[in-house]
Amino acid sequence: MSAREPRRATPEASPALRAEGIAKAFVSGKVRTQVLEGLSLSIDAGELTLISGPSGCGKSTLLAILSGLQKVDAGRVLALGSDLTALDSHALERFRLRHTGFVFQGFNLFPALNALEQVALPLHYLGLPDRQAQERAMQSLDEVGMTPRIHLRPGELSGGEKQRVAIARALAKHPELLFADEPTSALDAANGQIIIDILHRIARSHGTTVLCVSHDPRLTHHADRMLSMEDGRILSDRRAEPLHHEA
Amino acid sequence: MVALARKTLIHEWRRFLPAILAVGFAGLLQLLQAALVLGIFSSASIYVTGSTADLWVGYPGTRSVSLGQPINPDVGMHLRMDPAVARIEPFYWVDGNWRGVHGSGGELVYVTGIDPRPDGLMFSRALPASLRARLVEPDTVIVDRADVGKLGVKVGDTAAINGRRVRVVGVSHGLRALGGVNVVTSIDTARQLTTDPASVDHPTYLLVQLHEGSQADAVARRLRGAPGFGPYDVWTARQFARRSVLYWLLDTGAGAGVVFMAGIVFLVGAVITSQTLMAAVAGSAREYATLNALGVGLRNLRWVVLEQAFWVGALGLLGATVLGLLLLAGARSQDVPVALTAPITLVCMLLAMSLAAVSGLVAMRGLRRADPASLLR
Ligand SMILES: Nc1ncnc2c1ncn2[C@@H]1O[C@H](COP(=O)(O)OP(=O)(O)OP(=O)(O)O)[C@@H](O)[C@H]1O
Ligand SMILES: [Mg+2]
C-alpha cells in the first residue's frame, strides 16, 4: 500500500525495548511513592504489546521511562540498542525525533492548524523538505482514513477523527517505536474500534513496535502480548494464540 | 514549513490582542512623547532653523540662542576677509517688557531684530518676504499667531516695549518661543529698544552665508578665535541649533523626564505583553509538550514563541504608526508643537520591537509547563 518497508524483518529479532531492573519513585513533600521497583521487561520488535492494570499501578510511568520521557532512579533502558539512561536530554530529544511516535489520551492538536499541517509539522523538524513532508503527511492521513478531512481544523473534527490525526502525526515520522497511553478511553465504542484497528495494522504492516497502555478489553483481541501490572510489578505475561500471529 | 506561530496568532487573535495593544500603545506613547518634547524644544532653535545662515557667530560659550550676549561688530571685518564668506548679516536679540496700550500685560518678550529686506538671512524660512517687508517702517513689529491672545493685540494695534511705542503690522506662524514671546522687528527698531546704551552697536549674533554651504564645518573651524576682536565663537547652523535644543532638554530636566517616562512605559508594556504571551504559551502547553515528545527540540519551540512575539510587535507597531500619524496630523492642525525626526522615530520603533522581544524571552518560561512526561499520567 505504501512504499514503506517494514523495519523489522522477523518478530524473532533482538528485542526493540529492554528494561533491566528499573526503579522509579516520586517524592512530593515528605511523601515518597515507590512506583516501580526492580522491573525488568523485554519487548519484541514488530509486536503490539498491551499493558493493563489498576489505576495508579505505574503503567504510564513505565511508558514514560521506556520512551525516554522520564529518567529512572536505577536500572537501564535499552531502546533499539541505545542505552536511554546514558543519554542527556538533548540526545534523548534526537532519539525521540528519529525513532519514536506518541499517541496520548488527549489528542493535543494545535487549534490553528488543519489536519495536514498537524501531521507535516514534526516532519519539518526532522529536516524533510516541504514537498516531501506534505507527501508523507498525506500518506499517513490516508492510512488512517482521513484523506477527505485534511483541510479541517481540530474544532471541526470529531473526537475519533482527532485521534486519527494524532496517530497520523506519530506515524508520519515512520517511527520504529510507537507509544500509546489510553488512546481509546476518550472515545466511544465505534471510534475506539477504529483506532484499535489502525494500531493493529501499523504493527503488522510496518513492523512497528507498538506499546499500548489500555483498560479497553476490546484491545486484547488485537494484541500479540498482554502484560498486566499491579503495584509497579508485572503480574502476568500472556501471548496471544498463534492464530493471531500470522502475517 | 508550517507557520505555527503565525497561524496560531491569526486563529487565536483574541488571545493575543492585549499584547498587540500593549506594544502598540507603548510605541505610540513613546512616539508622541518624543514628538511633543522635540516639538516644544525645537522652538529653542527656530531662530536657527528658520533662517538660511550657514554659520552663526556669537559670544563664546553661548548655550542657547536666547542666551546670547553682544559681540564686537568688528569681528565682521575679519570674517569678510575670508574668501569663502559671501555675506554677513547682524542679528539683534533684546529682552523686552511688553505692555499693552491699556496698561495690560507686563509680558517678557524676546525682541529679534532682523534684516527686513527680501533676501535677509534671518527668519528667511519662517517669515514670508511680504510680511518681513512691513518691518521696514520704523517701530513696527510682528507677533506670532500663538501669542496673539496672550499679548491682547491684533494687527494695527499699538503697544509698548521697554517703554517705546510699537505698532503690530503682521502675524507670523510657527514662531512660538520657549519661556517668553517672540516679537520680530527690524534691526533698526531693535537697536532703539535696547536698554543698555553700550550695546546699541553690538549685535548679538552675526549670520554668515558662504559661497559653498557644504564647507561650513571647515570654514567655522578656520574663523574661530582670531585675536583682536574681543570674545567670539563660530558655529555651523546645525551645531548651534542642536546646542540650543540640547540646552533646553538637559537644563529643564525634560530629557531625564523623557527617559524616565520611556522606561516606565517600556516596563508596563513588557509586563502586559509578556503575561499575555505567557498565557498563550501555557494555553498550548500540551501541544508543545506533544511536539517535544515527538522529538521537536525545546530550542525550536522557543523560536516559535519568539516568532509570535515578533508578530505581536510588528502588528502593534503598525497600529501605533497609523494612529500616531493621525494624532500628529491632528496636533499640527491645532498648533500643538510636535516634531519627529527619522532617528527618533527609529529609536521608538526599536524600543517597541525590543519590548516585544523581551516579552517573548520572558514568555519562553511558559514552555517549562510543556513537559512531555506530564502527558503520560
Ligand atoms: N510527577 C509525579 N509526581 C508525583 N507522583 C506521581 C507523578 N507521576 C505519577 N505519580 C504517581 O505514581 C503512581 C503511578 O502513576 P501512573 O500515572 O504511572 O499510573 P497509571 O498506572 O498510569 O494509572 P492510570 O491507569 O490511572 O492512568 C501514582 O500513584 C501517581 O500518583
Ligand atoms: Mg496512566
What are the pLDDT digits (tens) for B109-131?
999 999 999 999 999 999 999 99
Measured distance CA(B222)–CA(B227) in Å, rounded: 13
With contacts defined as CB-CB under 8 Å, which chain A residues touch B374?
none
Q: How far is the CA of A183 from the centre of ligand 1 (A)?
A: 17
Q: What angle do CA A150, A211, A39 make, to 5 degrees?
A: 155
**For A171-186, how does the pLDDT look when each residue is reduced to its tens digit (9 = 90+)?**
999 999 999 999 998 8
With contacts defined as CB-CB under 8 Å, which chain B residues touch A69?
293, 372-373, 376
Burial call A212-223: b when 16+ CB within 10 Å, e when fewer: bbbebeebeebb
Q: Which residues are CB-neighbours of B336 under 8 A, at least 6 positions away?
A: B36, B39
pLDDT of residue A245: 47
Shortest CA distance to B181 belongs to which of B196, B192, B195, B168?
A: B168
Domain-by-domain residue ranges, chain B? 2-43+253-372, 72-231
Cβ(A67) to ligand 1 under 6 A? no
Give the residue, by CA position, lying nearest to ligand 1 atom 16: A58
pLDDT of residue B103: 64
Instruction: Count the Cβ atoms, other than its own, within 10 Å of residue B325.
Output: 12
Q: Which residues are CB-neighbours of A206 under 8 A, at least 6 positions away?
A: A4, A6, A7, A174
Inter-chain residue contact A108 with B8, CB threshold 8 Å: no
The ligand minimizing its distance to the Cα of A181 is 2
Contact predicate A159/A186, CB 8 Å = yes
In the predicted model, residues of chain B with pLDDT beneath 50 are none
Task: Choose among B2, B11, B375: nearest Cβ to A108.
Answer: B375
B373 touches chain A (CB under 8 A): yes
Task: Choose among A63, A109, A181: nearest Cβ to B287.
Answer: A109
For the sheet with A82-83, list strands across it: A31-43, A17-28, A74-79, A82-83
Cell triple for residue B377? 499520567
Pocket test for ligand 1, best of A33, A36, A63, A69 (most atoms within 8 A of CB): A33
Taking a contact as any Cβ pair under 8 Å apart, which residues of chain A between 177 and 216 contact chain B? 181
On the question of pLDDT at A8 being above 50, the answer is no
Cell triple for residue A78? 535499552
Burial of A19 (0-12, 13-18, 19+ CB in 10 A): buried
Shortest CA distance to B274 belongs to which of B317, B306, B315?
A: B306
Residue indicated by cell numbers 484491545: A219
Measured distance CA(B30)–CA(B9) in Å, rounded: 25
Measured distance CA(A83)–CA(A81) in Å, rounded: 7
B370 touches chain A (CB under 8 A): no
On the question of pLDDT at A2 being above 80, the answer is no
Measured distance CA(A117)–CA(A148) in Å, rounded: 14
Inter-chain residue contact A101 with B376, CB threshold 8 Å: no
Contact predicate B180/B65, CB 8 Å = no
Give the residue, by CA position, lying nearest to ligand 1 atom 19: A56
Taking a contact as any Cβ pair under 8 Å apart, which residues of chain B between 226 and 285 contact chain A? 284
Burial of B152 (0-12, 13-18, 19+ CB in 10 A): middle
DSSP string, A120-181: HHHHHHTT--HHHHHHHHHHHHHHTT-GGGTT--GGGS-HHHHHHHHHHHHHTT--SEEEEE
**For A77-104, how does the pLDDT look when each residue is reduced to its tens digit (9 = 90+)?**
999 999 999 999 999 999 999 999 999 9
> Please, what are the domains in chain A?
44-71+88-245 (3.40.50.300)
CA distance B14 to chain A (A): 13
Instruction: Count the Cβ atoms, other than its own, within 10 Å of residue A243.
Output: 6
* Strands B140-144 vs B164-172: parallel, antiparallel or unpaired: parallel
Task: Choose among A60, A101, A169: nearest Cβ to B377.
Answer: A60
pLDDT of residue A242: 58
A72 touches chain B (CB under 8 A): no
**For A136-184, how does the pLDDT look when each residue is reduced to its tens digit (9 = 90+)?**
999 999 999 999 999 999 999 999 999 999 999 999 999 999 999 999 9
With contacts defined as CB-CB under 8 Å, which chain A residues touch B376?
60-61, 63-64, 69-70, 104, 181
**For B295-312, how does the pLDDT look when each residue is reduced to its tens digit (9 = 90+)?**
999 999 999 999 999 999
Shortest CA distance to A199 belongs to which of A174, A219, A229, A172?
A: A219
pLDDT of residue A243: 52
